[in-house]
């Protein structure tokens, strides 16, 4: 009796701690998922935005680009310049071949290649950074900020169910400890 309630308390504490620990450390994301990821994609399924959509970016994380600085660059641009592949007035230009950008605030970031013609061929990237308040409620991947309808966060229910269950488990094991 005593050991099972202690076990329940222990496991719920571990679950709680892991929920916290997995969300606090900042990550570096290698753009495209590989060292030569910053290039014209072979196909739609190989596109940089496919990669971005299955990644979860949070405030404090960083993007890292590796590329040949003689032939390419990274431009952070406005949404309009992203859509039109206009390289003439970037917000920031990076051309050192090993670029790291810290994602300091939530919302969309737009990047295009500075190499002539590359953006039009798909070497472009939208990264949507989640604010920390999304951590426990949104299970949906970062949706693209284009003008389509917003994706409903359908997967938020299991999270609240889980935490409700956890609270019940913890209360149960506390009661168990008191009774013993």
**Residues within the interface to ligand NAG (CB under 6 A):** 84, 86, 88-89
Residue placing its CB nearer to ligand NAG in the complex, 43 or 88? 88
Q: What is the Cα–Cα distance from 124 to 85, expressed in whole angstroms?
A: 9
Closest distance to ligand NAG from the beta carbon of 169 (Å) = 57
Residue 68 neighbours by CB under 8 Å, 6+ apart: 97
Closest distance to ligand NAG from the beta carbon of 70 (Å) = 25
Residue placing its CB nearer to ligand NAG in the complex, 91 or 171? 91
CA separation, residue 140 to residues 34, 56, 154, 165 (Å): 24, 9, 7, 21
Which residue of this chain has its Cβ atom nearest to ligand NAG in the complex?
86
Residue placing its CB nearer to ligand NAG in the complex, 88 or 154? 88
Residue placing its CB nearer to ligand NAG in the complex, 86 or 163? 86
Closest distance to ligand NAG from the beta carbon of 95 (Å) = 19
Residue placing its CB nearer to ligand NAG in the complex, 53 or 86? 86
Q: Which string of b and e fits 31-64 if b means at least 16 CB within 10 Å?
A: bbeeeebbbbbeeeeebbeebbbebbbbbebbbe
Closest distance to ligand NAG from the beta carbon of 49 (Å) = 22
Closest distance to ligand NAG from the beta carbon of 107 (Å) = 21
Please compute, for residue 25, the number of CA atoms within 13 A of its CA located in the half-sphere on the CB side.
7
């Amino acid at each position: 009796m005593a050991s099972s309630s202690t076990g329940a308390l222990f496991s719920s504490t571990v679950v709680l701690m892991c929920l916290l620990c997995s969300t606090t450390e900042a990550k570096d994301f290698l753009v495209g998922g590989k060292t030569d990821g910053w290039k014209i994609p072979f196909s739609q399924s190989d596109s940089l935005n496919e990669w971005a959509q299955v990644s979860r970016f949070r405030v404090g994380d960083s993007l890292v680009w590796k590329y040949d600085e003689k032939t390419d660059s990274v431009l952070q641009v406005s949404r309009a310049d992203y859509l039109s592949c206009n390289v003439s007035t970037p917000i920031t230009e990076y051309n050192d071949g090993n670029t790291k950008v810290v994602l300091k605030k939530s919302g969309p970031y737009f990047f295009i290649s500075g190499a002539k013609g590359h953006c039009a061929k798909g070497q472009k990237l939208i990264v949507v950074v989640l604010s920390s308040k999304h951590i426990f409620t949104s299970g949906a991947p970062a949706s693209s900020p284009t003008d389509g309808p917003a994706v409903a966060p359908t997967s938020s229910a299991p999270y609240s169910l889980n935490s409700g269950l956890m609270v019940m488990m913890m209360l149960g094991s506390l009661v168990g400890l008191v009774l013993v």
